[in-house]
């Protein structure tokens, strides 16, 4: 079992007056694929480097498989860290690059050959054994770098912005591959990204970090439907925020008296909801049905944003481009806000 626990982890770089990792506690389940997500400079890489043993924490503890690893040097932690510009050894062939770590561990030759063969099959790079890194495409180099890490069967694989140098289509391909490798190997994986769509696509759970502090640790859908605060909602593209007052069984605001979900936090005073969850036009449900005026629209290709007004409140909803084109600016539209799509922020 390779669960990972960060306990009150702090890091202040020498000479700096502020912590870049500020009291982070996190429990990562064995066999999970977890994202450390946050804007650039929020301390994500510093956390990975401390787990890998390249940096020592200022305070706090890191437990892997239930035991503190702080007294272990990096090579004794059985953890592999991959960076975005994974440097392959230029003079070694692909097979030699992949087998390098096992040779360092003085494994028998036949065992190394078998392991390299198996991992190359898994990564779908058979046939490239004899090539040198400069004879590979960017995607193939990424696969070799992943193979070189996975062949060591580490108990924990750390990836620091592994795909951020790749173009969009290759990036999607590598993301699918990583997800598949995770399923097939069951290795506990923790990756750093600043891209929320990458975190959502890949991770079982996301740890969102702002300024070195953990803001929310949840399954991806919770960041859309149950964000902890406005900054979390905004980081995930939230646009609709409407002030009001929570009464016993409804929320009173410029949109009217809205029925709220059963788990509504009692301390909230800002209503938020996702533009993709709003239903425009007639539906069978009469709950939370309001009339809004279409003030404008913005064509985005696969969808159109409708800018709607209800009394003094403005909000956005998504529509299919075809339906949106049939609406007239200034037209009143019937809009339904399903109670489960509503959420309150402090
Ligand atoms: P992220 O991975 O979220 O982009 P980092 O962990 O790389 O963030 O950096 C967090 C902060 O720590 C940044 O302000 C960065 O400039 C600073 N930092 C990173 N490495 C060092 C270092 N070796 N010495 C001093 N400051 C550093």
Q: Residues 186-202: pLDDT tens digits?
A: 999 999 999 999 999 99
44 lines ligand 1 (CB under 6 A): yes
Residues 13 and 148 in one domain: yes
Q: Which of 9, 10, 13, 22 to mutate to test the pocket of ligand 1 (most atoms within 8 A of CB)?
A: 13
Q: What is the pLDDT of residues 61-87, one digit of tens each?
A: 999 999 999 999 999 999 999 987 777
Q: How far apart are the first and last CA of the chain?
A: 38
Look at residue 318 in the predicted model and tell me its pLDDT.
96
Residues 201 and 88 in one domain: yes
Residues 184 and 288 in one domain: no
Q: Assign 249 a pLDDT band (cuts: 50, 70, 90).
A: confident
Whether the per-residue pLDDT at 168 is higher than 90: the answer is: no
167 domain-assigned: yes
233 domain-assigned: no
Q: Which one of 179, 202, 225 terminates a domain?
A: 225
Residues 215 and 270 in one domain: no
193 lines ligand 1 (CB under 6 A): no
Q: What is the mean pLDDT of the chain?
A: 94
CATH number at 117 reads 3.40.50.300
230 domain-assigned: no
Residues 125 and 178 in one domain: yes
Residues 184 and 285 in one domain: no
Residues 213 and 326 in one domain: no
Whether the per-residue pLDDT at 1 is higher than 80: the answer is: no
Whether the per-residue pLDDT at 241 is higher than 80: the answer is: yes
Nearest residue by C-alpha to atom 21 in ligand 1: 13
Residues 38 and 179 in one domain: yes
Domain span including residue 260: 240-345
For the chain, what is the domain count?
Answer: 2
State mean pLDDT over 35-52.
97
232 domain-assigned: no
Q: Which of 45, 52, 190, 199 to mutate to test the pocket of ligand 1 (most atoms within 8 A of CB)?
A: 45
Look at residue 345 in the predicted model and tell me its pLDDT.
97
């Amino acid at each position: 079992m390779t669960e990972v626990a960060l306990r009150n982890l702090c890091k202040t770089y020498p000479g700096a007056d502020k912590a870049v990792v500020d009291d982070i506690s996190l429990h990562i389940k064995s066999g999970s694929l977890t994202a450390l997500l946050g804007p650039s400079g929020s301390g994500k890489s510093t956390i990975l480097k401390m787990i890998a043993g390249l940096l020592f924490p200022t305070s706090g503890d890191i437990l892997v498989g239930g035991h503190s690893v702080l007294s272990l040097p990096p090579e004794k932690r059985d953890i592999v860290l991959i960076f975005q510009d994974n440097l392959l050894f230029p003079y070694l062939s692909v097979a030699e690059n992949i087998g390098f770590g096992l040779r360092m561990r003085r494994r028998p030759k036949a065992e190394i050959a078998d392991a390299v063969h198996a991992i190359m099959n898994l990564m779908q790079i058979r046939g490239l054994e004899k090539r040198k890194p400069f004879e590979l495409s960017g995607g193939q180099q990424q696969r070799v770098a992943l193979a070189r890490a996975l062949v060591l069967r580490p108990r924990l694989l750390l990836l620091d912005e592994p795909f951020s140098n790749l173009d969009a289509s290759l990036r999607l391909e590598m993301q699918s591959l990583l997800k598949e490798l995770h399923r097939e190997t069951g290795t506990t994986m923790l990756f750093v990204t600043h891209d929320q769509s990458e975190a959502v696509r890949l991770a079982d759970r996301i740890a969102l970090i702002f300024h070195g502090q953990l803001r929310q640790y949840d399954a991806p859908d919770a960041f859309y439907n149950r964000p902890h605060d406005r900054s979390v909602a905004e980081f995930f593209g939230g646009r609709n925020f409407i002030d009001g007052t929570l009464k016993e069984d409804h929320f009173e605001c410029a949109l009217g008296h809205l029925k709220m979900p059963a788990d509504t936090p009692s301390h909230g005073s800002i209503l938020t909801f996702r533009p993709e969850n709003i239903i425009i036009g007639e539906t069978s449900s009469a709950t939370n049905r309001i009339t809004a005026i279409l003030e404008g629209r913005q064509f985005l290709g696969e969808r159109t944003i409708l800018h709607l007004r209800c009394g003094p409140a403005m909000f956005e909803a998504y529509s299919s481009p075809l339906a949106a084109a049939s609406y007239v600016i200034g037209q009143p539209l019937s809009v339904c806000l399903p109670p489960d799509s509503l959420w309150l922020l402090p």
